[in-house]
Structure 1
Amino acid sequence: MTQTGHKALLGASAVVLTMVAGAASAQSCTTKIGAVLPTSVDWGRPIAETAQFVVEQVNAAGGVAGCEVEMVLRDSQVDPKVGVDAAKALVDLDGVQVLLGAVSSGVSMPILTSVTVPSKVMQMSCCSSSTAFTQLAAEQKTDGLWFRTFATTGVQAAVGAKVAADEGYGSVAVLYKNDDWGQDLANLIVSDLEALGIEVTASVAINDGQPSYRAEVTSALAGNPDALYLGLYPNEGTAAVREWLSLGGTQNMIMANSLKSEEFRDNVGLQYLGSAIGTDTASPRVDSAAAFVEMYKEKFGSEPSGPGLANSYDATMIALLAMEAAGKDATGPEIAAQVARVTDPEGTPVTADGEGFAKAREILGQGGSVMYQGATGNVRFDANGDVSAPAVLWSFAEEGVEERSYISLDEVDAFIASLK
């Protein structure tokens, strides 16, 4: 798509959005979609706002199956118990058949196993990466109800190991969050580092809510590593890194995307993060991804620089497209069965906006299928509900986050293959 095309698309989207009140008033029913997202943390709010933006666009384009969409949002607080309670309320009280969430794998997993699968509700996550979901799906324990638009932890671990090798680090210590996501990431990064001949001097779990992490940091420091790998979230990450630096630890740090947070940067201090390199999955360099960036800037007045924003957009839009394809009053399994139809590589291409949704509705209504071209490209789910993705390296700057380099999907896949 040309720049002119982008502008035209934005203009069309703006016109559609101005029609939201009229479109909503014409709809005589409401359909609910649930969301369990961490709105109480700074990096979680934009993820929820992006999902709500999709709902607004779809409602402006006529809603889903003739009904206005209401996204019922509950805060997970990045806490498994809170997340499960929130999901139960959405399923039992609000009667949702589709649940967006959660962000942390440690929250998404208990929701999946104790709420959505038993209740036969489709779950679509923007930001859960643990390979434990792949295993669960492969064992046919997700009943085809689980999808995620975020690549597995294996991508971030491999890219983190690549950073260590490229920077010439001979030894690395690992600090990881003691939950499903962190344990998975730690196991993978240790394996990948060792495959490259890099010594892992220590791999230390960090638990939430401790008054001090001095013991854990001291253990990680014992081997005097060249660098520190951080698989943590901002709260415990801030406390652990402060301890690390105060005890003389190196400023050579490799960070998972969970630390792509201005809160973390500001609380640690940018002056201590000059040698820190972050990793993240990325959208491919395609027109639909570029169009999303422009649309996001138009809506929110800033770049979509936080973690999971493009993934949140696609997770929400694909879920709503599947609901449209399944029809009014469809059940979770019926909606899940339509995901392949709205992400069909042989289907008619549709754009990631209200105009694209309206076009998809027409095609689906005629019995056709569509190829959703989204913020993360042409999304493809495998048999386990997984996607693959390119990657980026990033660093902190005075005004947010700066991209250092882009690693294509072919390069990512080739590097992962070389580790094996």
Structure 2
Amino acid sequence: MSVKLGLAAAAATVLMAGPAAAACPVKVGIAYPTSVDWGKPIAETTLWVADMINEAGGVDGCEVETILRDTQTDPKVGVDAAKALVDLDKVQLLIGAVASGVTLPILTSVTVPAGVMDISCCSSSTRLTELAAEGGTKGLWFRTFATSQVQAALAAMIAGDEGYKKITMFYKNDDWGQDLARLTAEMFDAAGIEVMDSIAITDGQPSYRAEVTQALATQPDAIYLALYPREGISVAREWISLGGTTKMVGANALKSDEFREAVGMTYLGDFVGSDTASPRVDSATAFVDAYREKFGSDPSGPGLANAFDAAAVALLAYHAAGSDATGAEIAAKVPMVTDPAGEKVGGDVEGFKKALELLGEGKSVSFQGGTGAVVFDKNGDVAAPGVEWKFSEDGIEETRYFTAEDVNAFAAGKN
């Protein structure tokens, strides 16, 4: 597999004999933030899936050629990367991005106008659901990560169990942060937790002393951080240096060794985080085992199982549509790959071989991946369970599991 601007770990390729040369190789664009510590494993996981698809026979007999571009979690950089993939590399399938604030402009200004299918591992903003419901994605959009509604419910469940009554919120001033902050504030209120203040954090400022000073004046029991590691580190350090409490609740974006190491375990003993989770099923366990064998470590970073499933579903749909398919034709085949009534296929080379064969015969399959049996609703969304996690000297540890039913019930006000 040839990878432009890619990762050495994905260099091995298998060249397939296939249909007309004009349709081969099948070029697939990947737009993920490889310049941040938690983004590189997401991209590596995606490339790993492409390698296995190639080993299993390729897309419609064609080699998958992945073209990887870095979004840097920056909307302008992300849009430029997507434009290059669509306009220059002529891809019909884009895998990415991570941040909702990057994905939204990519969808509205690049992939949807060009008729390119877009699938993401990690974008959670409910604005994406609204856009799809309004017809703005034209059926070209899917994500394997649950919406911010799940993260918001988990944060309130966890904060309530910790006994917090007053919380001040810091949120990243972009589509993801604004959406998550709004939903989480609603969940806190429903749980009887008073939101003392909700403070926007704009990335790239030299200091957040003014924002932290504003938060300190509210005298909260704890703070909630809907931030990425870069600004999260700055805010947390400033907060602690000015005497703020070490009691913190964090969104999944802070599930990062970079944040843990920069802030330090001396101050993170009371930190509790939330994240969506894979269901406790055999395919999720198999993914963890396979990831560990491939990369020599556990898939503890954010979005890795979701990235695996996004790539697998998309490439299998591409195969079902044919190597010369348009983005719309690829998207139209996604239900064939995620059919609950279809034959179950796993996320390994043998599973992909079986899936390619069945799809090639016009039969549907039920892909069973790192997040279980992937099923999308009419807006391209999925449901998910959740976990509570904490930092330790050894890394990141999941400390509690919430079923999807638990989360949905809480979000619906049934608890």
Which whole-Å CA distance do the structure 2 matches of 1:344 and 1:204 have between them?
43
Structure 2 residue identity aligned to 1:355: E
| One-letter amino acid matched to 1:347 | G
Match of 2:15 among 2, 21, 24: 24
Write the distance in 2 (CA, Å) between the matches of 1:391 and 1:25.
Answer: 40
Q: Which amino acid aligns with 1:377?
A: G
Spell out, residue by residue over 1:151-185, the C-alpha distance to the aligned partner (whole angstroms, 9 max, x if none). Answer: 00000011101111111111000000000000000
Partner of 1:37: 32
Check conservation: 2:146, 2:383, Cα contact below 8 A: yes
Q: 1:213 maps to which residue?
A: 208
Residues 203-255 of structure 1, C-alpha deviations (whole Å, 9 max, x = no match): 00000100000111111121100000000000000000011111111111000
| Counterparts of 1:385 and 1:188, CA distance in 2 | 20
Task: Report Cα offsets for 1:134-153 as digits up to 9, x if no partner.
Answer: 11111111100010000000
Provide the residue aligned with 2:388 in structure 1: 393
Deviation digits for residues 114-150 of structure 1 (CA, Å, limit 9, x no counterpart): 0000000000000000000011111111100010000
Question: Is it true that 1:196 corresponds to 2:191 in the alignment?
Answer: yes
Residues 2-401 of structure 1 correspond to what in structure 2 (within 5 A)?
23-24=14-15, 26=17, 29-401=24-396
- What is the alpha-carbon distance in structure 2 between the residues aligned to residue 244 and residue 419 of structure 1? 35
What code does the residue aligned with 2:114 have? Answer: S
Structure 1 CA distance, aligned partners of 2:336 and 2:248? 43
2:400 to 401, 405, 411: 405
> When the two structures are superposed, what TM-score results if normalisation uses the length of structure 1?
0.94
Structure 2, unaligned runs of 5 or more: 1-11
CA–CA distance in structure 2, aligned partners of residues 419 and 182 of structure 1: 26
Task: Measure, in 1, the Cα distance between the counterparts of 2:219 and 2:35.
Answer: 36
Unpaired segments ≥5 residues, structure 1? 1-19
Q: CA deviation at 1:418?
A: 1.6
4+ aligned runs moved over 3 Å, structure 1: 25-28
Superposed CA offset, 1:311-361 (max 9, x none): 000000000000001012000000000001110001111111221111112
Give 1:17's aligned residue: none
Following the alignment from structure 2 to structure 1, what is the Cα–Cα distance between the partners of residues 226 and 414?
A: 20
Q: Secondary structure at the match of 1:254?
A: strand
Distance 1:72 1:221 in 2: 46
Q: CA deviation at 1:416?
A: 1.1
Letter in 2 for 1:388: A
Letter of the 1:390 partner, please give it: P
Cα distance in 2, alignment partners of residues 25 and 96 from structure 1:
19
Superposed CA deviations along residues 350-392 of structure 1, whole A, max 9, x for unmatched, are 1112211111121112221000011100011000000010000
Question: What is the one-letter code of the residue matched to 1:159?
Answer: L
Describe the SS at the equivalent of 1:394.
strand
Task: Letter of the 1:78 partner, please give it.
Answer: T
Give secondary structure in 1 for the equivalent of 2:192.
coil
| Partner Cα separation in structure 1 for residue 51 and residue 359 of structure 2 | 21
Q: Secondary structure at the match of 1:280?
A: strand
Q: Deviations over 1:55-114 (max 9, x none)?
A: 110111111011000110000001000000000000000000010110000000000000
Shift of 1:198: 1.0
Distance 2:367 2:93 in 1: 19
RMSD after superposition: 1.1
Q: Does the 8 Å CA contact 1:288/1:373 hold for their aligned counterparts?
A: yes
CA displacement, residues 270-305 of structure 1 (integer Å, 9 cap, x when unaligned): 110000001000000000000000000010000000
User: In structure 2, what is the Cα distance between the partners aligned to 1:348 and 1:25?
Assistant: 25
Residue type of the alignment partner of 2:242: L
- Counterpart of 1:24, as a letter, is L
